[in-house]
Copies of this chain bind each other. A is one copy, B any other.
Amino acid sequence: MTETIGFVGLGKLGRPIAGNLLQAGYPLRVHNRTASKAEELVTRGAQLASTPADAVTSGGIVISLLWDDASVESIMTDDFLSRLGRGGVHVSMSTLSPEASRRIATLHAKHGSLFVEAPVFGRPEAAVARKLFIVYAGLPAAKERVKPLFEAMGAQKSFDFGEAIGAATTVKLVGNMLIISAAASLTETLTLARNSGVDPHAVVDMLTTTLLSAPIYQTYGRMIADGTADLASSPIPTKDLGLFKETARALSSPAPISTFLLDLRSKPGSDRNVDPVSPMPSAP
């Protein structure tokens, strides 16, 4: 269990996940476009790879956790694919479109390597606390090989969504849409509470110990009541609502709410009122 793992993408979530792997005893070869973000991991023993392909070990496991479809597809150069080679496994943890995930799987199949999509639910704090959730899909042989890594990465639980690539990325988009929608409605409702003279913290305490006793409502409810929610400034909701909407459109699946939430984010100053996931505005 001490084979060297490649890790490409050391963003806010990638760094603590890679750190967890190091701590679990896995030698790592890490790559990030901005190399300075690798410094702490290198200090802790990771090897620095100068390119994504350089992070790959022949027949080994390489993990990617990048921003979007294009960033993951851009690392899959001929060099990357030929180094990974027969029997190598690429584990993609990014939030991708199911379509891109299937394109990536096809590319691997052509080169004899394997692909597991394994998007992850959790904020960076949850990675540090080893409270992540991973949903995954792929061929059984590939999944068997990478499954032990999930707990080492910091997953408190992982969920197998079968063999068909696209299933786990869809579940990730479903989950993110539900989180973004919940946070937006929390903002609107807690703003009304505050404007009515009702302490939003008391409302959050009540709701999150009763009907809505879920981590998402506890985390975002507190942040929204405190005015420290970061969803308005984060590009993630816009990206993921867009992926949800496009995925739904391709299947003629109705998507009125995700479309509306996406529109609201692009017109924060319009007469449609406020960005739904901004910190609570007060009444004029």
In the complex the two chains form, is A171's CB within 8 Å of B192's CB?
Answer: no
A233: CB under 8 A from chain B? no
Q: Closest residue to A210 on the B side, CB-wise?
A: B133
Q: Closest residue to A278 on the B side, CB-wise?
A: B254
Contacts of A166 in B (CB 8 A): 196
A179: CB under 8 A from chain B? yes
Q: Closest residue to A171 on the B side, CB-wise?
A: B203
In the complex the two chains form, is B211's CB within 8 Å of A175's CB?
Answer: yes
From residue 172 to 189 of chain A, which have CB atoms closer than 8 A to chain B? 173-175, 177-179, 181-182, 184-186, 188-189
In the complex the two chains form, is A252's CB within 8 Å of B283's CB?
Answer: yes
Contact residues of A: prevailing secondary structure = helix
From residue 126 to 152 of chain A, which have CB atoms closer than 8 A to chain B? 133, 135
Interface string of A87-112 (1 = CB under 8 A from B): 00000000000100000000000000
A13: CB under 8 A from chain B? no
In the complex the two chains form, is A203's CB within 8 Å of B189's CB?
Answer: no
Q: Closest residue to A216 on the B side, CB-wise?
A: B211
Interface string of A258-277 (1 = CB under 8 A from B): 10110010000000111010
Contact of A121 among B210, B252, B253 (CB under 8 A): B210
A164: CB under 8 A from chain B? yes
Contact of A193 among B121, B174, B188, B198 (CB under 8 A): B174
Q: How distant is the Cα of A105 from the Cα of B256 in the complex, in angstroms?
A: 40
12 CB-based A-B contacts, threshold 8 Å: A166-B196, A177-B188, A178-B207, A184-B257, A191-B254, A192-B244, A195-B251, A195-B252, A212-B214, A212-B216, A213-B214, A255-B273
Residues of A within 8 A of B (CB): 98, 121, 133, 135, 157, 159, 161, 164, 166-167, 170-171, 173-175, 177-179, 181-182, 184-186, 188-193, 195-198, 202-203, 206-207, 209-217, 244, 247-248, 251-258, 260-261, 264, 272-274, 276, 281, 283-284
Additional A-B contacts beyond A255-B273, A256-B272 (20; CB < 8 A):
A133-B211, A161-B198, A171-B193, A174-B193, A177-B189, A178-B185, A178-B212, A188-B254, A188-B258, A195-B252, A196-B253, A211-B214, A211-B215, A213-B215, A252-B283, A252-B284, A253-B283, A256-B273, A256-B274, A257-B276
